[in-house]
Amino acid sequence: MYFPQFLVGMSATTVVVAIWAYIEASSIWTALGWAILAMVVLQVGYVGLVVRLIVRRSEAEDAGTASVDRTSPLVFRDFY
């Protein structure tokens, strides 16, 4: 998952949640609270996905099926 793509998606989702909350509650503070809650939930989900990628890669290396050149430095191409 690309981080810039995630940021655009998170921003769009947050704006939609804020607008929806404002329409439903007619309160800026309620809309702000829901938007912050949406951002926190999305960030927790993103961190969970990154951790899952790291765990899966380490499990693949343990099984010997990883296609990583052990002579090269760490490659973070999965995290862009």
Q: In 1-80, where does DSSP find H-type helix? A: 3-25, 28-63
Mark 61-79 as b/e (b = at least 16 C-beta within 10 Å). eeeeeeeeeeeeeeeeeee
DSSP summary character for residue 64: T
pLDDT at 19: 94
pLDDT at 78: 54
User: Is 0.85 surpassed by the pTM of this model?
Assistant: no
Question: For 12-69, what is each residue's pLDDT tens digit?
Answer: 999 999 999 999 998 999 999 999 999 999 889 889 988 998 888 887 777 765 555 5
Helix (H, G, I), strand (E, B) or coil at 19: helix
